[in-house]
Structure 1
């Protein structure tokens, strides 16, 4: 039997590989730190870990989750003053984004590919999801300061455009779009085009012009806001995220969502964490303080990092990107190189950040 008779879809040849952050190498005498995946260096709050233990040791584990996630959606609705019908829960914000793309972009009945406009560089999973759905990703380069080029994104709109993605704060460069700027942008977007605001890092934002982008969902019928429990809540391993969008956008998504997108363990932890946002935000404040310290040090060293409102800093090192990542690796720090563009460094524990600054100081000499 010829095994070559079974072959994958041709589109797979066009998909970039998702490069997850690698663990740090073990170096004798040094505590290793992973600064490559934008993970929260602080553990989930106690209420969340207690919920994990309770759910994992109950009979819930051998049962399928309740697929509407009504309790968590209700709490999200009460917390942010949105109807429960406007909330969709999935496997992280990426899982929800995947459902959005599969629902609203793909290959048309005429064989033509829909288009999804994305900033670039941005979250590297975007083109993988878009191309897998049978659509084209239209990459609009970010500006030299790491910010979205919104005018260029508007100019990229064609009659095939179905979705525009705004990643704010932008991963991996860090700048944020104020809600007024986004409002003015959406006003110029045709109302049949879905605007997805990926706010995975919004809890780390301290810009007065940003709350949570939900006012924009209330003002415009073509807006979906993505949120996650992976970053600020420290629940990355449990894969819980959600979208807030008008019901007419959410309802069709549920057709393509997998039957059991996330677990009861994850949902119970997310519920407990969201119920104690004061504690969660206290943890983010520690990260923000370290972010400011690291950014200032790197800026003083001449690295010219863009202004960041996330839990990471971007170093536009160009051809030196891999060399810098290697220098970090030699000191038991893993960072994320996007060669030949730059390096993204997640904010970690104080000792990890101190060591990163020292590596950057030595590298600059």
Structure 2
């Protein structure tokens, strides 16, 4: 089957979890035998593909879904909907959209309307976890049987990561907390740094920073125990080594659908603290994975302190995500593609 992967036009102008997801999915599908490639909207032809896989339901992607459907092309949509959407939030969003149109006397469309349009037009919707599926069904009124669960994967290199090259490259010794992600208020690195101040635990940051966040980065660097290493390519062995070297990985961001940074940290055997605004759930993981509200600095500090006081067995931590492999993801996606194409 010829599968085209596509997302919003500026996707690869930055580095982040979605870019990694698309790239790893592309490689895993190719290894599984699919004819797969990234779609160039300027030169793509309907005859080039048997199915389109759209990543993300925002940033105008509802237009991609609509255009594909108009051309008779089956569409699988990885929704990437925030788990915070529920029935009440959906009702408020629909009311707000109606009011905006009524007050302006213009055919205004809200972000909610764009997301719902993409979800409704897609032949099949993929959710990364049960919480995201619930948000899709309740917040956007999508039929449950239209939504399949397919999680993200973890690269094999994270399971046998070596911390020594990372420590040698950056001259880092002793215990430290690690946060991997774009430097921004949304990722909440400053709140994390403030929470860790009482623990006297150094914080190491890895991730890109946009010019608009220069002041935020400076506020972080003004704190005595914070060090920023810049961005590392996802395939760089030093990134895997950073996860393995850290005493704890923390990501108390404003929201994460299914954070790869947490999966990769656990694969490396490192316990983690993460936002409770996420679709990621792992059974019996409380010994190594703590969930906190992003604005609760006391809870963040307490969760980190608990993991430092009783460090879990690294092999047991890795075992939590042992089944999250990209080949398994490719197999599940293949089943979704076959089901979608067969019913079109």
Give the TM-score normalised by the residue count of structure 1: 0.31
Give the TM-score normalised by the residue count of structure 2: 0.33
- Relative CO higher for 1 or 2, CA cutoff 8 Å, sep ≥ 6? 1
